[in-house]
Amino acid sequence: MANIIDGKKIAAETRAEIAAAVEEQKSRGITPGLAVVIVGENPASQVYVRDKHKACGEVGIYSEVIELPETTTEEELLSKVAALNNDDRIDGILVQLPLPRHINEEHILNAIRPDKDVDAFHPVNTGKIMIGNPDFLPCTPAGVMVMLEKSGIEIAGKHCVVVGRSNIVGKPMAMLLLAANGTVTVCHSKTRDLAEVTRSADILVVAIGRADFITGDMVKEGAVVIDVGMNRRADGKLTGDVDFASVSEKASYITPVPGGVGPMTITMLLRNTLTAAELHHKS
C-alpha cells in the first residue's frame, strides 16, 4: 500500500515558512500585496478567489479582490490591469480564469507586468522557466516539486512521465522535472501505447481532467504517482485523474484527491507574491 503524500500538511508547513518571511519583510516596512481580479459570477471561480483572499490574510499578505461584472469589456479589463501594474501597493496580479467568452485571455495575461505575474503565465516568465532562470514558478507544478522534495523523493536520474501538455500544468511541470535532472517524457491524446509509457515511469504526474483515467495496470510497482486532476463524479464526490484504489496498491507514494496537490497551488501563489515583493524592494 502506497505512502500518502499529505498536501494539507505540507501546505501548512510551507505557509508557516511564508508567514515568517512576510513578518520579516514587514519589519523592514514592506507589506507584500496581491490583487485578484474576477470577471463574472462563475461559482467555482468565486470559491477559488475567496480561498486566495483568506490564505493571504492568514500569512499577512495584503490582498485586494476586484470583482467586475460579466458585461465588462476587454478594454475595461485591460484598463484595470494597467492601473494595478502602476499600483505600488500591489506586488502580484492574478486574473482569475476562465474569463467571459468575449474577452481574449491571451491579451489580458500578456498585459500583466512580468514582474507582477505571480501565475507565471506571461511569455517572459514562461521563457525564463524554459532557460532555467525563473523569477516565478507556475503554482501547481511548483507545488508538486515541493511535495516531492518534502517527501524525500529523489528526481535526478528518474524517468518522469507527465500525462497532459497544458500550458498551465503539463508543459511547465516537464520543465521543472527536467531542471531537477529527471528524464522526462510528456504524453498526450496522440500518444501511442500510453499504458506502456506510463508503466515505465518512476515518477508519474497526471493532469488531463479525466476522472479515474490512470488505473493500476498502467503503473509500475513502486512508482511515485502525483494526481493533479480534480473531477466531480455523478454522485457529487471529488476524484482525481488516477483511480486511487487500484493505483495505491502498486505505487510507493501517491497523492489523494482531495487533500493532495490542491492545497499546494494557493500556497505557491503566496510564495510567488512574497518573491515579487522581494524583487520590487531589492536595495
Bridge partner list, 4: 254
Using an 8 Å Cβ cutoff, are 75 and 69 in contact? no
Active site (annotated) includes residue 25:
no
State the alpha helices, DSSP H only, in the chain: 7-26, 43-59, 74-85, 105-111, 123-130, 139-150, 170-179, 194-198, 244-247, 262-280
Of the residues 91, 96, 115, 158, only one is catalytic, namely: 96
The closest alpha carbon to 161, from 131, 195, 129, belongs to 195
Helix and strand numbers, DSSP H then E, in the chain: 10, 11
Residues contacting residue 82 through CB under 8 Å, at least 6 positions apart: 111
Comparing CA positions, the residue from 45, 105, 46, 113 lying closest to residue 77 is: 105
The one catalytic residue in 119, 135, 202, 212 is: 119
Instruction: Count the neighbouring beta carbons within 10 Å of the beta carbon of residue 150.
Output: 15
Distance of CA 42 to CAs 12, 68, 81, 168, 208, Å?
A: 28, 12, 20, 19, 22
Side-chain-side CA neighbours of 68 within 13 Å: the count stands at 23
Is 8 tagged catalytic? no
Catalogue the active-site residues.
52, 96, 119
